[in-house]
Amino acid sequence: MASDKRALIVGIGGQDGALLARFLLDRGYTVHGTSRDHEMASFGNLKRLGLYDRIRLHSASLGDYRAIVEIMSVVKPTEVYNLAAQSSVGLSFSQPVNTINSTVLGVINILEALRFLCLDARLYNASSGECFGNTGPEGATETTPFQPRSPYAVGKAAGHWAVANYRDAYKIFACSGLLFNHESPLRPRRFVTRKIVAGAVDIANRRADRLQLGDLAIVRDWGWAEEYVAAMWMMLQQDEPRDYVIATGAPRALREFVAAAFDAVGLNWENHVDFDPALSRPSDVAYSVGRPERAARELGWRAKADMDDVVRWLVEEELRRPREA
């Protein structure tokens, strides 16, 4: 890869940001990343992956247009990846204003900075499969109408259409990835996948006896995050910018995920899991699955890992994790 490839990852401290940084560094990119205050942020994911000293970090709030312009002017990126903003669907119900504001204002500030500076840069924006709401068994494609059912999804849907508007109006190379659930050991415990896996390991090691969960009947499309960040990069290597659904296309119920996690540590989940109605969301998505045919056809991208692979790898990593983590 040519050494003049400069990537700016906005929101580099999260799961996807850290994994994408590793992916790009392996391909010869110079990688810059932002955080609200890079001197105070822990960047635990970057350190865990051994990347912290290889990234050029900058402080910027996505709500501060001037700061975004200044960083863009200094870095002069060839590729920009917007992965920032509040990322938990559940948390968005208790923080709706912050979630929507950060999601929408952030992407518009980035788009405006690209337009104002006339940078020859390509933008990837993290949209979400949550924008579709209930997809039904038939699944969602890039042309399926949005029906968001959470503040998180509302913000992502608005950001998605902002990208489409700037792409059409100002001919900016900008695209959005409609990514469905994708997991890795970098997830914090507030995400249900990590909560389940950590809970099963704790119970197997006699550090706990019960696990409280919400509705186990919901159906999701579970993928492996390392594969999904590769799709982000692939989108920016195309001749024309387009939006893509990134998913496995294989729907599985949360109950199956729970059963697989407990089975991996030699336990029957039904003996240890309780339903807690307080953990159910005000308006949840019952069925969420993507149809990634366009990505397969145009990007050559296909998910290799399925839910069983994801659970196995998460459990293996959790068993290696120090207890205090």
Q: How far apart are CA 153 and CA 100, in angstroms?
A: 9
Q: How far apart are CA 170 and CA 165, in angstroms?
A: 8
DSSP assignment, residue 43? -
Query: Catalytic pick from 29, 81, 124, 152?
Result: 152
Query: Catalytic pick from 87, 128, 176, 288?
Result: 128
Task: Indicate if 128 belongs to the active site.
Answer: yes
Helical spans, DSSP H, in the chain: 15-25, 44-48, 65-75, 89-92, 96-117, 151-170, 192-204, 225-235, 254-264, 293-294, 307-320
Q: Is 222 helix (H, G, I), strand (E, B) or coil?
A: coil
Query: Catalytic pick from 87, 92, 102, 130?
Result: 130
Q: How far apart are CA 141 and CA 132, in angstroms?
A: 9
Is the Cβ–Cβ distance between 59 and 129 less than 8 Å?
no
DSSP assignment, residue 238? S
Task: Indicate if 150 belongs to the active site.
Answer: no
Q: How far apart are CA 293 and CA 290, in angstroms?
A: 9
Give strand pairing partners of 287.
219
Show the tokens assigned to 151: 């503040």
Task: Indicate if 29 belongs to the active site.
Answer: no
Location of structure tokens 């307080």: 278
Residues that are catalytic:
128, 130, 152
